[in-house]
Structure 1
Amino acid sequence: MSAPFDWSGVSIALIGAGNMGLAMLEGWAAQGLAGDQVVVAEPNPSQRLRDLCAVRGFRLAEGDSADEPRQAVVLAVKPQLLEAGAASAAPFVSAGSMVVSILAGKRIADIAARLPAAKAVVRAMPNTPAAIGRGMTGAFANEATSEAQRVLAHVLLSAVGQVEWVESEALIDAVTAVSGSGPAYVFYLVECLAAAGVEAGLPADLAARLARATVEGAGELLHQQQDTAAETLRQRVTSPGGTTAAALDVLMASDGLAQLLARAVAAAKSRAGELSG
């Protein structure tokens, strides 16, 4: 087991503390980040954010207050608020700062153009399970990002779940299509499975409970048995000639689920490219 991260000397500015930004802040607090190490710039702070700052000593920055550069500046505003977010971030950015952006569809060039003082920029794509600490984040660091800065970015992002690094910024669009949008695919699977249960004769409320609990349980099994391939887990529940095999014959047909998901991911990746272009 690796040693706990040494937070001493780390200074952070969090720009935007909506659902994702607040989840990250709570994750940092849980890992022991001291209150005086964090300043939060959020024009519309929720009561939950105010309470966390009051308890942990994190400072809510005034909109027009001057401030000193920070070691890490995390941009967590909505993509359409990049201009305002960059203006809020600017007082905290210097040549030695690392900017971590979780703005969907905004490239490193977009961030650098608005925060020219920053050299090290990390682009990250988390997903919504980050709100419960079970997120998956794909990340890419530009060449100016040092190894120490990359480690800090990894620690900051892993406060809300797992982190995977990619070697090309272009792959962030694929990450967006698979894990960024992926929770919606799973939620839709639950909807479809419940609807199929109704077609099979189940009451709607029972079908919904069965579908939801099945996906929850299967996901937890994947989580707890991370050394076991998904294919192996599937094979364990599939008896030759049984009911599951009959269903999988349909799902694994030439026009089945694999092809449908491939088209869905390709469409999401294409759209991600259009939005970030």
Structure 2
Amino acid sequence: MAIYHFPDTLFLAGCGNMAGPMLTRWLECGLDPARVTVYRPSAAPVADGVRVTAQWPESLPDGTMVLLGMKPYQLGDVARHITSIDGSDFRLVSILAGTGMQSLRANFPHFDNIVRVMPNTPVGVGQGVCALYADERTSAAVRDEVQALMQPLGLAEWIADEGQFNLVTALSGCGPAYVFRFIDALAGAAARLGLPADQAARLALATVRGASTLAISADVAPGVLADRVASPGGMTRQGLNVLDKDEHLLNLLTETLRAARDRGEEMEKEV
């Protein structure tokens, strides 16, 4: 069983659709709930043993890891409250989409250690992707702490150029939605051609799960695996010819990622 390293104190500003599954996974992997405080206006409970408050705390222990898990438009108001909390050397982790380091620095001018993280929804089952970025003001020790915190969630990779962060978000952050849509379309196409819809859905899910597992364990690229399955003149090759014609699938996904990336850049300007 893996041994994970968690911060002594973790404070979550918000615990919604992304921060919630992250916290659930951390607790499953051994995070002591007594170390966690969650601020949410509703004060609705999140997990046994986790303190939830509808009031901003007056103080937090030095070195607390603070996770921004609310909506991006709430940044200014939340920053005003967090910067008034007594304590020092807080580590700030932001999972806010479309909110760049420049904006975070402007809202938290006295925080040296800030890390941007873009997780995706499979983090809740430990199969997620977390893209991380920090600038030169963030210490190497804090980078290591944040890396360790993301380890139970899946793959954690640092992005060297923040200018690529929205593209990475489009790929791995938005990517699960595109995969879900593909699975749905694969099943829908089979149903349209005559299979019972429930059977088509089961077969599509199992096919994608098996193919993904094989691709992860293989020592060659997924494109090579595709060609290995596709015998000349066979059924698979005939289908691939449709996807590959004029780079149709590649062009479609390029436009998909471009649209998501561009929206991220627009959101940064709005923030």
Q: TM-score range by the shorter chain?
A: 0.7 to 0.9
1:67 corresponding residue in structure 2: 59
Q: How many angstroms apart in 2 are the aligned matches of 1:166 and 1:258?
A: 24
1:78 corresponding residue in structure 2: 71
Alignment counterpart, residue 236 of structure 1, candidates 216, 223, 228: 228
Alignment counterpart, residue 218 of structure 1, candidates 211, 232, 245: 211
SS, match of residue 252 in structure 1: helix
2:12 corresponding residue in structure 1: 14
SS, match of residue 160 in structure 2: coil
Displacement of 1:63 in angstroms is 0.6
Q: How many angstroms apart in 1 are the aligned matches of 2:196 and 2:31?
A: 49
Identity, in percent, stands at: 37
Structure 1 ranges of 4+ moved more than 6 A: none
In structure 2, do the counterparts of structure 1 residues 194 and 27 end up closer, same or farther at CA, with 3 Å as the change threshold?
Answer: closer
Aligned pair 1:194/2:187, yes or no?
yes
2:102 corresponding residue in structure 1: 109
SS, match of residue 139 in structure 1: strand
Instruction: Name the TM-score, length of structure 1 as normaliser.
Output: 0.86
1:145 corresponding residue in structure 2: 138
1:276 corresponding residue in structure 2: 268
1:267 corresponding residue in structure 2: 259
Displacement of 1:93 in angstroms is 7.4
SS, match of residue 136 in structure 1: strand
Displacement of 1:229 in angstroms is 2.3
Q: How many angstroms apart in 2 are the aligned matches of 1:119 and 1:94?
A: 14
Displacement of 1:90 in angstroms is 2.7
2:173 corresponding residue in structure 1: 180
Instruction: Name the TM-score, length of structure 2 as normaliser.
Output: 0.88
SS, match of residue 162 in structure 2: coil
Displacement of 1:160 in angstroms is 1.8
Q: How many angstroms apart in 1 are the aligned matches of 2:158 and 2:138?
A: 13
Q: How many angstroms apart in 1 are the aligned matches of 2:117 and 2:89?
A: 19
The one-letter code of the counterpart of 1:77 is M
2:244 corresponding residue in structure 1: 252
The one-letter code of the counterpart of 2:31 is L
Alignment counterpart, residue 162 of structure 1, candidates 148, 155, 160: 155
Q: Which runs of 5+ in 1 are unaligned?
A: none
Aligned pair 1:42/2:35, yes or no?
no
Q: How many angstroms apart in 2 are the aligned matches of 1:31 and 1:210?
A: 32
Partners of 2:5 and 2:148 within 8 A in 1: no
Displacement of 1:23 in angstroms is 2.1
Partners of 1:71 and 1:97 within 8 A in 2: yes
Question: Relative CO higher for 1 or 2, CA cutoff 8 Å, sep ≥ 6?
Answer: 2
Partners of 1:70 and 1:92 within 8 A in 2: no
RMSD of aligned residue pairs (Cα, Å):
2.4
SS, match of residue 28 in structure 1: helix
Displacement of 1:251 in angstroms is 0.7
Q: How many residues were matched structurally?
A: 268
The one-letter code of the counterpart of 1:190 is I
In structure 2, do the counterparts of structure 1 residues 163 and 227 end up closer, same or farther at CA, with 3 Å as the change threshold?
Answer: farther
The C-alpha deviation readout for 1:2-50, integer Å capped at 9, x for no partner, is x94554x733222111232222223333343334433222222444x1x
In structure 2, do the counterparts of structure 1 residues 256 and 42 end up closer, same or farther at CA, with 3 Å as the change threshold?
Answer: same
Which piece of structure 1 moves more, 172-181 or 70-79? 70-79
Displacement of 1:94 in angstroms is 5.7
Q: How many angstroms apart in 2 are the aligned matches of 1:246 and 1:199?
A: 19
In structure 2, do the counterparts of structure 1 residues 212 and 116 end up closer, same or farther at CA, with 3 Å as the change threshold?
Answer: same
Partners of 1:13 and 1:70 within 8 A in 2: no
SS, match of residue 254 in structure 1: helix
Q: How many angstroms apart in 1 are the aligned matches of 2:29 and 2:59?
A: 25
